[in-house]
Amino acid sequence: MCGIIGIVATTEVAAALYDGLTVLQHRGQDAAGIATANGNQLRVHKGNGLVRDVFDDKAIALLVGRVGIGHCRYPTAGSEGHDEAQPFYVNSPYGIALAHNGNLINTDALRQEVFEEDRRNINTESDSEVLLNVFAHELDRERALTPEAAFKAIEGLHRRSTGGYAAVATVLGLGLVAFRDPHGIRPLVLGRRVTETGTEYAVASESVALDILGFERLRDVAPGEGIVVTARGELHHRSCAESVMRAPCIFEYVYFARPDSMIEDISVHKARMRMGVTLGEKILRERPDHDIDVVIPIPDTSRDSALEIANVLDVKYREGFIKNRYVGRTFIMAGQGERAKSVKRKLNPIPLEFRGRVVLLVDDSIVRGTTSKQIVQMARDAGARKVYLASAAPPVRYPNIYGIDMPSVDELVANGRTEKEIEQFLGCDWLIYQDLADLESAVAGPKFPGRRFDSSCFSGEYVTGIEPGYFERLQQLRSDEAKKKRRLAS
């Protein structure tokens, strides 16, 4: 997953983009970048690392302009290298920089089409560079540089692109452009700030970025919608897709997003609390006479659900693991070796919360099993009498192809295993998963009963459809093994 942000302000935007990226950091830790537009000049600064490592005061001072975009990256295509950090830039037409969250699934065909028919060069393996060139080509077909021309270009882009994509772009001479795929798989929210010098607009992956910058959250960008904010601060928007079918990614609510964000008018925090309630009720149904002494979350993301499970079970909730706040999220690290090493560096038990007790550990999800296998052992070493494990999401059995880097079924701990076999593999005394129907209704909540989500990594049903052979190609390109080989070769 990546974080994106775009702002049109009445004063310089670089510092605000930087601040916005720091609260989107949990969406991507590999690279960061900002592009600003100043008259007929685009300035771009990007590189590998965390937002705070990529920029210093001098870099921010050089990013002149009142229109700009920012990105923090968690790669799902190409390499982790500097060349594929975003925003990407093309000088024609006009000069465009673009930042993308998501993953295209027709990248190979599009890449060929862009080269052979649009006669444009793609210099990297990134799907986002392809997306930018499709947009640029479509914009080039229009006669004038107007908001309507940008909407027509987005229409053309939607016709040609398949997958998950939310994107922000600066177009020199026009302003800020933003759009979201026709299924609304990846999130994007629109905000407004009224200042003494005029009205300003921002779009961002998560509303938390708007909050900290003092923008009021107006609404989500609709699936298939295009947004243009001109450099003078006029907002234009219209639907740019022939047909739309709202199916936001459920994994945003499970793991990715910050709990203090609102996505599609649903509070992530509340969704996670409701996940805890439904899972707690399932535990009670399956073991009405359970012997659980204490519920312990595996920090950070599972905390909201774990607290509600404890409430439903009417047992104590304890913070039994202390998290090293200087270690990032392990799931979005690039290689399995690094992920596995980081769990121990990241989480350390407080033995007195475990000694002699039957503990229920709670995680938001179990994907590769990297975290839970080690944590179960840590709980035992800390003296737990029995270790149970509950997952607020169902077993992840299928690849995610819309912007979360879990492309290879072989790496998923639930692949080819029954729940009993997973329990044995993780070494716990009891393993319990949320049911998918419960997860979906917990996220939809009372406001949107029956809402549809992209739950493909749990169900194997992909809202965009899949070309034959796609998964095999993906596995070859993006398995941990393939990535390791690429890193060694570069």
Ligand X SMILES: O=P(O)(O)OC[C@H]1O[C@H](OP(=O)(O)OP(=O)(O)O)[C@H](O)[C@@H]1O
Shortest Å distance, C-beta 228 to ligand GLN: 22
Task: For the chain, give the number of residues.
Answer: 490
**What is the rounded radius of gyration, in angstroms, for the C-alpha atoms of the chain?**
23
369 phi and psi angles, rounded to 5 deg: 85, 5
Q: Which is nearer to ligand X, 124 or 475 (CB)?
A: 475
Question: 407: closest CA among 470, 350, 342?
Answer: 470
Query: Does residue 211 belong to the site contacting ligand X (CB under 6 A)?
Result: no
Three-point CA angle 276, 279, 281, nearest 5°: 110
Measured in whole angstroms, the distance separating CA 318 from the mean position of its chain's CA atoms is 29
Determine if residue 10 is labeled as part of a ligand binding site. no
Quick one: angle between helices 268-286 and 436-444, nearest 10?
140
Q: Are 111 and 117 in contact (CB under 8 A)?
A: no
Q: Do the beta carbons of residue 206 and residue 3 sit within 8 Å? A: yes
SS3 378: helix
325-344: contacts with ligand X (CB under 6 A): 329-332
Residue 230 binds which of ligand GLN, Mg ion, ligand X, none (CB < 5-8 A, kind-dependent): none
Q: Which is nearer to Mg ion, 39 or 335 (CB)?
A: 335
| Minimum CB distance to ligand X, residue 270 (Å) | 18
Q: Is 273 left (phi over 0), alpha (psi -120 to 50) or beta?
A: alpha
State the number of binding residues for ligand X (CB under 6 A). Answer: 19
Q: Which is nearer to ligand X, 1 or 99 (CB)?
A: 1
Q: Given the complex with Mg ion, which of 301 and 434 has the nearer CB atom? A: 301
- The crossing angle, in degrees rounded to 10, of helices 127-140 and 147-160 is 130
Tell whether residue 464 is among the known ligand binding residues: no
Out of Mg ion, ligand X, ligand GLN, none, which partner does residue 278 contact, by CB within 5 to 8 A per kind?
none
| Residue 370 interacts with ligand X (CB under 6 A): yes or no | yes
CB of 278 to ligand GLN, least distance (A): 28
Please identify, among the stretches 122-130, 280-288, 349-357, 479-487, the one whose residues bind ligand GLN according to the rule CB under 6 A.
Answer: 122-130
Any catalytic annotation for residue 2? yes
Task: Please give the biggest Cα pair distance in the chain.
Answer: 74
Inter-residue contact 433 to 391 (CB < 8 Å): yes
- Does the annotation flag 260 for ligand binding? no
Supply the DSSP symbol for 250. T
* Residue 65 contacts ligand GLN per CB under 6 A: no
d(CA 223, CA 240): 9
- Residues 150-189 vs ligand GLN: string with x where CB under 6 A? ----------------------------------------
Residue of 14, 136, 367, 428 that binds ligand X (CB under 6 A): 367
Q: CA torsion angle for 280, 284, 285, 287 (degrees, to 10)?
A: 130
Give the shortest CB-406-to-ligand X separation in angstroms: 8
Q: Residue 366: name its binding partner from Mg ion, ligand X, ligand GLN, none (Cβ under 5 to 8 Å by kind).
A: ligand X
Residues carrying an active site annotation:
2
Contact residues for ligand GLN, defined by CB under 6 A = 1-2, 73-78, 84, 100-103, 126-128, 403
Residues tagged in the binding site annotation for Mg(2+)? 301, 363-364
Residues tagged in the binding site annotation? 301, 363-364
